[in-house]
Chain A
């Protein structure tokens, strides 16, 4: 069953002082099945971030629809949208986006506190997640005290703690060194195996090679997609690499 249905999404930005229009997304359609691990690739300016913002309901498409669990995002009332985002979506960002005024524990609790959970409930939820992500001993620390990889794992824990239907990751490895990257991608794989649906935007081939399917966006459209199938990570890495080369040099065919 598909969790996410993106149908003919178009987004046009108008610059502030009138006149110039910029088409960020021309026509994007795809679906994500439950339990899938999808990577979206594309160069800078291809519209990746715009797409992610629309999926996250932070932005509205100019036309087209986005459905999550059969619910049209644009039909959700403005007042409910924050709660919807909180309960159904989990976010992992390139810049971690941890609040530096909170300890890691409180950062992870943030969405739960916003939903009005009691301290006991929260405590119960954080234990297995922190265990799984290997940050149980770091919970009392503050973001400035821990490494980038540890910050990102805390951010993942924050995304997971609400049991979201879908995790949206925006360049999650962008600010990490190679060891932390490997570590995080391994964790993402593990989380996905436990049944969590993940949608990741990246331009790291390595990150994408861990996914089960890769979508390529160019000039605001889904240009191509490849499935991992039975291939190993290395083989899939090669495939993605080849596709990217073709995209960059190859040309205008579809």
Chain B
């Protein structure tokens, strides 16, 4: 046999099936492009030099891992779809005398062609857009833009090796498929009679129950980090339930509708309902996949967008003022304040020397301790809490004097000794009317406060914080001195003085001021001598902002990139579903016309079916998202984003944008569906 014929067969194979192959090639190119861009950004040296760039790069590195797994699964899936559609062609070749070996050769050449096109195209666009992505990323991080163009050779190698691997696996799968089938089967594989799907009640009910439990878990999980296992369980359950419901639940519902004769035997419902049964059986799994992809995109994009938009909010939570001082001190200093006054004056002088002023001064003293709250008691004895300890019972406790509270919050509360006002963070409530600290201190809770100033310790920890506002700190902590850390005589109660202020000047100057204060503190400490217990931690927003944005922008960018890839995947699945539906409906369409349905009736019926089929995943994804929202919000809270209205708006906007995009995709793909369905008649 002439050598050229394989090439010709391979080439015409692709060309004749361009309705199937073009989207496949485009998607392959898209994934190659994204892989390259993510890999390029995660290794780009120019990018690493920007402040916060390295943090962002570590996230992108993880993103590349996600891309690898995803590309493998996704390309495998789409290719199996292509194979199914082409089996008839293989069968014909086989009957005409091409052996399986020859077919394998044809497929090998086809694979080479595809690999060549997609890698070249994908890398070309990848390199082209990598600069754009870099610029965007630099802009987000707030760095200075450079316009030199570079190509990441290691990234190209990485991407090429990855995709050669994937295509090799796909090719092996193709060989397996060709090997397993005989010509008659190959020819007929598209039209074997289908059993009417049975309603699987058990699975359907199981799906509903599992989904119910998962939703319940999602809504009631208090703290997603400590309840990590429950969190993953809920996610897995939602995935499983989605598959169950799409595959079995839908069929069961159709069956119930069919049982209702008055409903079923109506022109509008008759054809639609009975076809839906088959449609859902065939497409249930695919639609469930679309639904889960959509949910993933929505959760990912909306949470990263929330984080990014809310970054300034979180920053302010984490660093309540532009310059923050947290001083750890001993009891003498706590009551006498000699060094703290000195430190206060130091900051004032430095700020004034720089020609600016302190604004929004935040100052208070507090006694901090950690403990496990059980019932109405804060357990401090380590021996006791090792046995019944539950990680979600751990609290951070700050004891603050009522005068500081009144001053900072502008209130006029008065308390008698033995009374306390409490305030709890992270939406965890303390409901008891009294609180006992350790064995000896008991306080009466007279009121729940509705707020207190932000505290960096609280925003860094995943544990909730309880503020106890008491008339006098010293009397409360006096009996607590007996509790010490295991193996040391250091008290578990630490004494702090918080001091923070804003600066109405540029970031650069703020960093200067911070450095000068830091120097001043060093000098002060050396004058205090070795034994002084006076530890100062100094933090400035300006100094931290870049790193902070590095994390959030990295997540944000990754969310957008992966979101894009997942959407690409969803689009392709939708498109292929439409096409296969089209081929299946073609013959049905003709029969119905012969039996006496008008073209309009048929079109209406089919349209309503297709609409249901394709918008079911979108709606379900919306419901999933709504139930996932409490969880997302709590996760965001851990990142220090407490702005719920902002999160809601962002999430809803993400959903709307996504729905719009989905609709456009549907409109575009349904055109090819209708052209296939009605194509037969026109060509007769």
A116 within 8 A of B: yes
**Given A16-B683, A110-B270, A113-B267: A119 touches B262 (CB 8 Å cut-off):** yes
| CB-CB nearest in chain B for A13 | B684
**Given A86-B596, A101-B278: A119 touches B261 (CB 8 Å cut-off):** yes
The 4 lowest CB-CB distance pairs between A and B, nearest first, are A86-B596, A144-B193, A82-B598, A119-B261
Q: Jot down 24 A-B pairs with beta carbons below 8 A, ordered by A.
A: A82-B593, A82-B596, A82-B597, A83-B598, A85-B596, A86-B595, A91-B595, A93-B594, A97-B594, A97-B595, A99-B274, A101-B196, A101-B274, A101-B275, A101-B277, A101-B588, A109-B270, A111-B595, A113-B265, A113-B270, A114-B595, A119-B262, A119-B265, A142-B196
B266 within 8 A of A: yes
Query: In angstroms, how far is the closest chain A Cβ from the Cβ of B161?
Result: 47
Query: In angstroms, how far is the closest chain B Cβ from the Cβ of A79?
Result: 7
**Given A79-B598, A113-B267: A100 touches B194 (CB 8 Å cut-off):** yes
A76 within 8 A of B: no
Residues of A within 8 A of B278 (CB): 101
**Cβ of B265 and Cβ of A109 under 8 Å apart?**
yes
Residues of A within 8 A of B594 (CB): 56, 58, 91, 93, 97
**Cβ of A144 and Cβ of B274 under 8 Å apart?**
no
**Cβ of B591 and Cβ of A97 under 8 Å apart?**
yes
List 7 extra interface pairs beyond A79-B598, A79-B600, A114-B270, CB under 8 A: A82-B596, A82-B601, A91-B595, A98-B591, A99-B274, A111-B595, A119-B261
Expressed in whole angstroms, the Cα–Cα distance for A103 and B255 within the complex equals 13
Expressed in whole angstroms, the Cα–Cα distance for A122 and B598 within the complex equals 21
B2 within 8 A of A: no
Query: In angstroms, how far is the closest chain A Cβ from the Cβ of B203?
Result: 21
**Given A119-B261, A144-B195: A102 touches B274 (CB 8 Å cut-off):** yes
Please report the number of residue pairs spanning A and B whose Cβ atoms sit closer than 8 angstroms. 72
B236 within 8 A of A: no
Expressed in whole angstroms, the Cα–Cα distance for A114 and B265 within the complex equals 9
Residues of B within 8 A of A102 (CB): 274
**Cβ of B591 and Cβ of A99 under 8 Å apart?**
yes
Residues of A within 8 A of B596 (CB): 82-83, 85-86, 111, 114
| CB-CB nearest in chain B for A159 | B595
Residues of A within 8 A of B145 (CB): none
Expressed in whole angstroms, the Cα–Cα distance for A81 and B599 within the complex equals 11
B-contact 0/1 string along A35-70, CB 8 Å cutoff: 000000000000000000000101000000000000
Most buried by A among B193, B594, B596: B596
| CB-CB nearest in chain B for A107 | B595
B-contact 0/1 string along A238-252, CB 8 Å cutoff: 000000000000000
Most buried by A among B274, B277, B683: B274
B668 within 8 A of A: no
A210 within 8 A of B: no
Within 8 A of A (CB), among B565-603: 588, 591-601
| CB-CB nearest in chain B for A91 | B594
A153 within 8 A of B: no
Residues of B within 8 A of A118 (CB): 265
Within 8 A of A (CB), among B248-294: 261-262, 265-267, 270, 274-275, 277-278
Residues of B within 8 A of A91 (CB): 594-595
Expressed in whole angstroms, the Cα–Cα distance for A98 and B588 within the complex equals 9
Instruction: Give the interface of A toward B (CB within 8 A).
Output: 16, 56, 58, 79, 81-83, 85-86, 91, 93, 97-103, 106, 109-111, 113-114, 116-119, 122, 142-144, 158
Residues of B within 8 A of A82 (CB): 593, 596-599, 601
Query: In angstroms, how far is the closest chain B Cβ from the Cβ of A152?
Result: 14
Expressed in whole angstroms, the Cα–Cα distance for A98 and B595 within the complex equals 10
Within 8 A of A (CB), among B583-637: 588, 591-601
Residues of A within 8 A of B267 (CB): 113-114, 116
Residues of B within 8 A of A106 (CB): 270, 274
Query: In angstroms, how far is the closest chain B Cβ from the Cβ of A150?
Result: 14
Expressed in whole angstroms, the Cα–Cα distance for A200 and B262 within the complex equals 36
Most buried by A among B266, B270, B683: B270
Residues of A within 8 A of B270 (CB): 106, 109-110, 113-114
Residues of A within 8 A of B683 (CB): 16
| CB-CB nearest in chain B for A158 | B595
| CB-CB nearest in chain B for A93 | B594
**Cβ of A114 and Cβ of B597 under 8 Å apart?**
yes
**Cβ of B266 and Cβ of A113 under 8 Å apart?**
yes
Query: In angstroms, how far is the closest chain B Cβ from the Cβ of A85?
Result: 5
Expressed in whole angstroms, the Cα–Cα distance for A116 and B597 within the complex equals 12
Expressed in whole angstroms, the Cα–Cα distance for A50 and B266 within the complex equals 33
| CB-CB nearest in chain B for A58 | B594
Expressed in whole angstroms, the Cα–Cα distance for A45 and B646 within the complex equals 72
Query: In angstroms, how far is the closest chain A Cβ from the Cβ of B151?
Result: 48
Expressed in whole angstroms, the Cα–Cα distance for A80 and B249 within the complex equals 39
Expressed in whole angstroms, the Cα–Cα distance for A113 and B274 within the complex equals 13
Expressed in whole angstroms, the Cα–Cα distance for A106 and B595 within the complex equals 13
**Given A82-B598, A114-B596: A99 touches B194 (CB 8 Å cut-off):** no
Expressed in whole angstroms, the Cα–Cα distance for A83 and B267 within the complex equals 13
Residues of B within 8 A of A58 (CB): 593-594
**Cβ of A142 and Cβ of B195 under 8 Å apart?**
yes
Residues of B within 8 A of A86 (CB): 595-596
**Cβ of B588 and Cβ of A99 under 8 Å apart?**
yes
Residues of A within 8 A of B598 (CB): 79, 81-83
Within 8 A of A (CB), among B93-151: none
Residues of B within 8 A of A98 (CB): 591
Expressed in whole angstroms, the Cα–Cα distance for A97 and B593 within the complex equals 11
Expressed in whole angstroms, the Cα–Cα distance for A137 and B4 within the complex equals 59
Expressed in whole angstroms, the Cα–Cα distance for A16 and B594 within the complex equals 23
Within 8 A of A (CB), among B178-231: 193-196
Expressed in whole angstroms, the Cα–Cα distance for A98 and B196 within the complex equals 14
Expressed in whole angstroms, the Cα–Cα distance for A252 and B312 within the complex equals 95
Residues of A within 8 A of B196 (CB): 101, 103, 142
Residues of A within 8 A of B194 (CB): 100, 144
Residues of A within 8 A of B600 (CB): 79
Query: In angstroms, how far is the closest chain A Cβ from the Cβ of B539?
Result: 68
Expressed in whole angstroms, the Cα–Cα distance for A47 and B9 within the complex equals 37
| CB-CB nearest in chain B for A97 | B591
| CB-CB nearest in chain A for B276 | A101
Residues of B within 8 A of A93 (CB): 594
**Cβ of A99 and Cβ of B592 under 8 Å apart?**
yes
